Structure 1
Amino acid sequence: MKTAVVWFKTDLRITDNETLMKAISQNDRVIPVYCIDEAHFKTTPFGFKKTGCFRAQFLLESLIDLDRNLRELGSGLHVVNGKPEKELPKIVTKYKAHRVYAKREVAFEEKQTESLVQAELWKLHCELETFSTSTLYHAEDLPFSIKDIPDVFTDFRRKTEKEAPIRNTFDKPTRIYSPEIPLLNLPTLSALGLKSAAIDSRAVLQFKGGESEAIKRLKHYFFETKAISRYKETRNGMIGADYSSKFSAWLALGCISPRFIYQELKKYETQFGANESTYWLVFELLWRDYFRFMMKKHQSKLFQKSGIRNKELATEKTDWKLLERWINGQTGNDFVDANMLELKLTGFMSNRGRQNVASYLCNDLNFDWRYGAAYFEQQLIDYDVCSNWGNWAYLAGVGNDPRGNRYFNIEKQATDYDKNKVFRNLWLNQWQADS
C-alpha cells in the first residue's frame, strides 16, 4: 500500500487544497499531520513573541475544526509538537510513508525549515512534494518570471490582470482513507508559554478559527448582508464587523483560499451584479499575492532594515520607553493611541489604523520599522509573514512604494476617518475609565 503524509501548515482547510487532493489521488492511505513548531513560540531578537495569545488561540480553534472535518471523511489530524525536521521523519517511519505532501514556502525561516525537513526525509528515501496553494494567481501562470516581477504594484497588477488566468478551485474530498489517527490532543496556551486573554468586547469581530467559521463569514459578508457591494465605500471604516470583509485572519492560516473567495464572488456577481466594490476585493487579494511574490523574489531583504531598496535609514538609537508608549497607546496622539489599544486588546486593527500607526512609529518617532513589524507579528490574529513585512517595509520607505516614503498627516487622517471621534471615544474613554 502506498502511504503518504500530508503536512498541514498555513493551509488548514479541506476545500480547495491541492496538497490534500494530490495526496489522496496518488496514494492508498493518507496521514494528515500538523506540527506545532516550537520555533513559532519563541521570543524574537526584537523582544516580542513570534506568536501571541490571540493568534495562538485562533490557531488551536482552526486545528480543532480541521480535525473535525477530516474525521467526517474517515481520517483525522495527527498533531505533534517540536521541530518539524525531527517530528515528521518519526511519522514517516511509523507509517512507512514514501512521500510527504506540503504547501510550498517562500519566506526565509519557513524555507529553511522546509529544507531541513527535506534533508531528513531524504535519509529515509522519502520525497517531499510541495504545491503552491496560497495565492489567487499561480506563480507559474504569471506573465513574468519571479525575478522579473516589477517592483511597482501597479505595473504588476495591470499585466497580470490582462494576461494571467485564475485557476479553478479543487473540490472538497468525499472520502479519505487513513489508518487510525490518534484523538486530537492540543497543548494549552500556558503550555505554549502564553497567557490566555479574551478578545475585548469592543472588538470589530469575535474572531474564531477554522474553515467552518471562514465559510460562515463569507456567506454573511456576501450573500446574507450583501456588504461586499459597498466594500469600496466602507473599507476605510474603523468600527463594526462589516466595513471590510475581515477574511484576512482565515486567509493567513489558510482556513479559506483566495481562489475559493474569488469563485464565490463570481457567483455573487452573477446573482446580484458586479460593481467597483466587488472588483476591489479582488484588487486587495492581488496585493496579498504581490507581497508573497515579492518575498519569493527578494527573500531575506524584506526583513532587513534597508529593505529591498538597500536604503540606509537614519533611525535614532532604540528608546524602549518610546516603543512601550506606542505599544500601550500612551503616545499622546489620540488617533494612534486608540488604534494601538484596539490591537493590544483584540489582536486586530483596521487597515487605515495600521497605516497611521506605522507611519507614526517610522516618521514621528523615527524608530526602526522592524520593531513595529515584530510587534504586529506577535499581536495580530491575521499575521501573514509576507503581507506584514511587505507592508511595513512599504510604509518605512524601503519596500515597494514608488514614492519612497509614505508620511501620514495623522491629525488630518483622524479628521477624515474619525470625524466625530466615535472610534477614539470608544477606545480611549473606556480605557481611561478602566485604568
Structure 2
Amino acid sequence: MKYKRSIVWFRNDLRIRDNETLSRAVSQSEDVIPVYCIDPRHFEQTDLGFKKTGDLRGKFLFESVQILGSQLQKKKAGLVVLKGFPEEEVPKLAKTCGAEAIFFSEEVGSEERNVETKLEKNAWAQSIATESFWQSTLYHIDDLPFPVSQLPEVFTQFRKAVEKMSEVRAEQEEITVIPFAEQAKPYVRPLDYKDFGLEKLPSLPSKVMRFDGGECSGGERLKSYFWDKNLLKTYKETRNGLLGMDYSSKFSPWLALGCLSPRTIFWEVKRYEKERKKNQSTYWLIFELIWRDYFRFIAKKHGNKIFQVEGIKNNGDSWRRDSADFQRWCEGKTGVPFVDANMRELNTTGFMSNRGRQNVASFLVNDLNIDWTWGASYFESQLIDYDVCSNWGNWMYVGGVGNDPRDNRYFNILRQAKNYDKNGDFVRFWIPELASIEGFDIHQPQELPANILKSKRIELGKTYPEAMVEMEKWM
C-alpha cells in the first residue's frame, strides 16, 4: 500500500543502514517523518533504589539518538524528538501532521509490547495504519525451521537447526535520499541530555575503552576490529580477556540499540573470511550472534516468565533479599577482589567483560544466594549494552531457572581469577588500594573456598586488611 505520509518511529533500531522499517516506509510513502520518543518511564527510580536507566547507559543512548539525527540530515531528512509516552505522543503527532501510517520495529519485552499494543490501538482509533517489522535478530523469525512455540529449550539444538536449515537474509539496499516531510520541521525538538535523566555527562578514566554511541562509532569499531587491526582472526582465543580495548569485539553496545545490525556484522565476517582468513574465530563471532538470537526467541516464547523469580523452569523462590549485601555487591565492596574489580569497571564504564559478568552473577546468586532478578535489574540500569532479552536470559541461565541444561552453573571465583587474571593486573587496575600486593597474591586477601563461603561467610564489606584477619580464622 502507498501512503501519502508516514511516521518512522525509531526504537532500538537507531541506524539507517540495513533498517527494514525505514526502508519500507520510504518505499511505501510519498514522504516520511522520522521520530524518536523519549519515554520518561525509562528514567524513573526502581524499587531497588537506582535509576532504571543509569547515567552511563543514558549517555550512550543520548549520543546514539544524536548521531541518528545527523545521519538522517545527510539523507536530506531530520529527526523529530518527542518526550512522553510513545503510545500517546507518536499517534498524536501523526494526527497533527496528517500521517496515514506509523512504521516501527517489533520488540518482545513485556513493557515494549505493551507500548506497541496501546500505540496501535490509539492509532487505529484515529484511522492511522501501523506496520511493524522484525529486524533485531540475525535469523529472521519467519525463517526459523520451527514456530517459536516449539523453540528448543537447549541452545545447541536451536543452533544446529538454524545453521542447517535457515539462511541469513541479505542487508536492505542502501537508502540514498529520504523524502522528508517539510511540514515536520516545526515539530523538531532540540535534543537535551537532561531529557535522558542526565544532569552531567560523566567522563571516563584514561586507559579504558571509550564507547561513543551511534551508528558512525559502531561502524568505525567494526572496521577497526576486522580490517585495521585484523583482530577477528584471534577472537576465539582472546575473547575471555579482561583488560584493554581489543580482547573482544565489543560490538554489543551498538547491537543493543540497533546502531549496528547483526546482519551487517554477519556479512562483514563472510567478506573477511573470503578476503583474509576463515577459522574457528570467525565462526565463533557468528556463534555469539546466534546466542543473542536465541535469547530473543526464548523471550518471545516465554513472555513475562523471563522476568519472574521462578524463571521459565518454575523453580521455587528460596532467595535471600539482603539489601546491605546487595548494595556492597553493586558498589564493588564485597571484599572479594575479583568480584569487586569487575563491578567497579561496570560502575565506571558501563561495560564488563563476558567473563566478568559470569563471575559476578554467579557470586551474587550462588555465594550470596541473593535474588537473581536484583542482579538483572542492576545490570539493566548500568550496562550500556543492555538488551532486555540477553540480559534477563543470561541471568536466568546463571540463576538456574533458565535454559541451562545443568541445574547449577557455579563459578569458583579463585579458580576463575587464577585462569583469567593470574598476575592480578585486572584487580590491580580497578582496586588501586591493593596495587602493592604482587602477583596472584592480590586475589588472596578475602577469597574463601566455596564450601566455607557458603556456610561460614566472612562479614562482607569490611576493609581488605580486616577481611584478611577474619579469613585466617577459617583457613
**Normalised by the shorter chain, which TM-score bucket?**
over 0.9
1:35-89, CA deviations, whole angstroms, 9 ceiling, x for partnerless residues?
0011111122333311111111111111111111111111111000010111112
* Structure 2 Cα separation of the partners of residues 40 and 314 of structure 1: 29
Deviation at 1:431, TM superposition (A): 8.5
Q: Tell me which of 23, 37, 44 is aligned to 1:21.
A: 23
| Aligned partner of 2:145 among 130, 143, 146 | 143
1:425 and 2:445 matched? no
Tell me the distance in 2 between the aligned counterparts of 1:249 and 1:172. 23
Task: Return the structure number with greater relative CO, CA threshold 8 A, min gap 6.
Answer: 1
Separation in 1 of the partners of 2:207 and 2:330? 18
Counterpart position of 2:190: 185
1:68 equivalent among 67, 70, 81:
70
User: Structure 1 CA distance, aligned partners of 2:199 and 2:385?
Assistant: 18
Q: How far apart in 2 are the matches of 1:169 and 1:193?
A: 35
Match of 1:257 in 2: 261
Separation in 1, partners of 2:415, 2:233: 28
Match of 2:322 among 319, 336, 343: 319
State the alpha-carbon separation in 2 of the partners of residues 199 and 36 from structure 1.
25
Q: CA contact under 8 A between 1:56 and 1:189: conserved in structure 2? A: no
Deviations 1:168-204 (A, max 9, x none): 000220011112343551122377265532123242x
- What does residue range 94-133 of structure 1 map to in structure 2 within 5 Å? 94-133=96-135
In structure 1, which of residues 34, 37, 40 is the aligned counterpart of residue 42 of structure 2?
A: 40
Unpaired segments ≥5 residues, structure 2: 437-475
Q: 2:159 aligns with which of 154, 157, 160?
A: 157
Distance (Å, rounded) in 2 between the aligned partners of 1:228 and 1:300? 36
Answer yes or no: is the 8 Å Cα contact 1:199–1:347 preserved in 2: no
1:344 is the counterpart of 2:330: no
State the 1:404 CA deviation: 1.9
Q: Is the 8 A contact 2:59 2:198 kept in 1?
A: no
* Structure 2 equivalent of residue 388 of structure 1: 391
1:84 counterpart letter in structure 2: P
Give the secondary-structure state (helix, strand or coil) at the position aligned to 1:245: coil
| 1:49 partner amino acid | K
Which stretch shifts more, 55-64 or 227-236?
A: 55-64
Alpha-carbon contact 1:37-1:84 (below 8 Å) kept: yes
Distance 1:13 1:392 in 2: 28
Q: Label 1:265 to 1:430 Cα distance change in 2 as closer, same or farther (>3 A).
A: farther
Aligned counterpart, 1:224? 228
1:236 aligns with 2:240: yes
Amino acid at match of 2:402: G
Partner of 1:299: 303
Q: Return the alpha-carbon distance in structure 2 between the equivalents of residues 430 and 403 of structure 1.
A: 38
Say yes or no: does 1:372 pair with 2:375: yes
**Is 2:368 aligned against 1:360?**
no
AA in 2 matched with 1:305: V
Greater Cα offset, 416-425 or 89-98: 89-98
Matches of 2:127 and 2:335, distance apart in 1: 60
Matched, 1:200 2:202: no
Using the TM superposition, give the Cα deviation of residue 432 of structure 1 relative to its aligned residue in structure 2, in angstroms: 8.3
2:66 is equivalent to residue 92 of structure 1 = no
- Decide which structure has the larger Cα Rg and report it: 2
C-alpha separation between the residues in 2 aligned to 1:145 and 1:137? Answer: 13
Q: CA deviation at 1:359?
A: 0.2
Letter in 2 for 1:188: Y
SS of the aligned residue for 1:2 comes to strand
Structure 1 unaligned spans of 5+: none
Percent identity among equivalent residues? 51
Which whole-Å CA distance do the structure 2 matches of 1:184 and 1:384 have between them? Answer: 27
Alignment check: 8 A CA contact 1:52 1:194 kept: no
TM-score (norm 2): 0.89
Partners of 2:225 and 2:388 lie apart in 1 by 25
Amino acid at match of 1:410: I
Name the SS for the 1:189 alignment partner. Answer: helix
- The corresponding residue for 1:176 is 178
Distance across 2 between alignment mates of 1:191 and 1:16: 26
Is residue 266 of structure 1 aligned with residue 270 of structure 2?
Answer: yes
The residue number in structure 1 matching 2:313 is: 309
What letter matches 1:261 in structure 2? I
Distance 1:392 1:292 in 2: 14
